[in-house]
Chains A and B, each alone.
Chain A
Amino acid sequence: MSARPGGGLTARVVLTVLLAWLVLYPILILVGDAVGGGGSGLTAFATRPAEWRALWASVWISVASVALAAAIGVPLAFLFEWFEFPGRKTLGSLIALPAVLPPFVGVIAFLFLYGESGFVARAVQQIFGLEQSPWRLQGAGGILLVHAYSMYVYFYLFTRAGLAKLDASMLEAAQALGASRWSTLWRVTLPLLRPSLAGAALLVFMTAVGSFSAPYVFGGGFRVMTTQIVASKLNGELRLAEVESVALALVAIAGLVLLRRSEGDDIVTALGKGTAPRRRPIGGAGARAFSTTAGWALAVLLLLPHLTLVLISLVPYGSWTTETLPPVLSGINYQRLFAEPERLRPLVNSLWMAAGSTAGAIALALVAAGLVARGRPSRLRGAIEGLIALPWALPGTVFAIALLTTFSVHSPVTLRWVLAGTTLLLPLAYMVRNVPVTGRALLAGYRQLDPGLEEAAASLGAGRWATFRRVTLPLLTPALAAGGSLAFVAGLGDFVTSIVLYTYDNRPISIEIMASLRVSELGVAAAFGVILMVVSAAVLGLGARR
Chain B
Amino acid sequence: MSGFVTLDGVRKRWSAKVTVGPLSFGVAQGEILALLGPSGSGKTTVLRLLAGFETSDAGRIGIGGEDVTATPPARRRCGMVFQHYALFPHLDVGENVAFGLAGQGKANAGRIVDALKLVGLEGFERRRVQELSGGQQQRVALARALAPEPRVLLLDEPLSNLDPALRERTRRELRALIKRVGITSIFVTHEQEEAFDLGDRVAVLESGGLEQLGTAEELYERPASLFVATFVGRANVLRGPAARAFGGGEGTGGGGGMKDGEVIVVRPERLAFAAAGVPAVVRERRYTGAAAFFLVETDGGERLEVLAAPDAARVGDRVRLAATSVLRFAEAHA
Interface residues of A (CB under 8 A from B): 1-3, 450, 452-453, 455-463, 467, 470-471, 474-475
Contact = CB atoms under 8 A, between A and B. Distances in A.
A467 B86 CA distance: 13
Interface size class of B (residues with CB under 8 A): 20 to 34
Interface string B135-153: 0000000001100100000
Contact of B86 (A1, A455, A474): A455
Contact of A457 (B72, B99, B145): B99
Contacts of A1: 55
B54 A460 contact: no
Interface stretch (B77-85, B174-182, B225-233, B268-276): B77-85
B75 A461 contact: yes
Given A3-B72, A450-B86, A458 B77 contact: no
Nearest to B102: A461
A459 B73 contact: yes
13 contacts: A1-B55, A3-B73, A453-B88, A455-B80, A456-B87, A457-B99, A460-B99, A460-B145, A460-B148, A463-B72, A471-B88, A475-B88, A475-B90
Contacts of B89: 475
A308 B217 CA distance: 85
B231 to A, nearest CB: 28
A471 B77 CA distance: 19
B86 A453 contact: yes
Contacts of B82: 452, 455-456
Given A2-B53, A3-B52, A458 B88 contact: no
Contact of A2 (B55, B78, B87, B99): B55
B90 A455 contact: no
Nearest to B76: A459
Given A3-B55, A457-B99, A452 B74 contact: no
Nearest 8 A/B pairs, CB to CB: A460-B100, A452-B86, A458-B73, A456-B86, A459-B80, A474-B90, A452-B82, A458-B74
Nearest to B150: A459
B219 interface: no
B52 to A, nearest CB: 7
B85 to A, nearest CB: 8
B100 A461 contact: yes
B45 to A, nearest CB: 11
Contacts of B154: 459
Interface in B109-134: none
Interface of B: 51-55, 72-80, 82-84, 86-90, 99-100, 102, 144-145, 148, 154
A1 B39 CA distance: 21
B184 to A, nearest CB: 15
B183 to A, nearest CB: 14
Given A1-B55, A463-B72, A475-B90, 11 more contacts: A3-B55, A452-B84, A453-B88, A455-B53, A455-B73, A455-B86, A459-B80, A460-B74, A460-B100, A461-B102, A471-B88
A376 B51 CA distance: 20
A244 B23 CA distance: 65
Contacts of A456: 80, 82, 86-88, 144
Contacts of A471: 88
Contact of B51 (A450, A455, A467, A475): A455
Nearest to B70: A3
Given A452-B84, A453-B86, A459 B51 contact: yes
Given A3-B72, A3-B73, A463-B74, A458 B86 contact: no
Nearest to B55: A3
A467 B72 CA distance: 13
Given A450-B86, A455-B82, A461 B74 contact: yes
B303 to A, nearest CB: 38
Nearest to B90: A474
Contact of A461 (B55, B86, B148): B148
Nearest to A467: B74
Contacts of A463: 72, 74
Nearest to A471: B88
A458 B72 contact: yes
A462 B74 contact: yes
Nearest to A449: B89
B227 to A, nearest CB: 29
Contacts of B79: 459-460
Contacts of A459: 51-52, 73-74, 76, 78-80, 100, 145, 154
Contacts of B88: 453, 456-457, 471, 475
A452 B47 CA distance: 14
B78 to A, nearest CB: 6
Contacts of A453: 86, 88
Contacts of A470: 99
A467 B99 CA distance: 10
Contacts of B53: 2-3, 455, 458
A11 B84 CA distance: 31
Nearest to A457: B99
Nearest to B84: A452
Contacts of B83: 452
Contacts of B75: 461
Nearest to A458: B73
Contacts of B102: 461
B148 to A, nearest CB: 6
Q: Quick one: which of B53, B55, B73 has the most chain A CB within 10 A?
A: B73
Contacts of B100: 459-462
A281 to B, nearest CB: 34
A471 B96 CA distance: 11
Q: Quick one: which of B52, B87, B99, B144 has the most chain A CB within 10 A?
A: B99
Contacts of B145: 459-460
A475 B79 CA distance: 22
A474 B91 CA distance: 10
Contacts of B74: 458-463, 467
A462 B87 CA distance: 15
A263 to B, nearest CB: 32
A25 to B, nearest CB: 37
A258 B73 CA distance: 48
Contacts of B77: 461
Q: Quick one: which of A1, A3, A474, A475 has the most chain B CB within 10 A?
A: A3
Contacts of A3: 52-53, 55, 72-73
A475 B84 CA distance: 17
Q: Quick one: which of A457, A459, A467 has the most chain B CB within 10 A?
A: A459
Nearest to A462: B74
A452 B144 CA distance: 14
A452 B76 CA distance: 17
Contacts of B148: 460-461
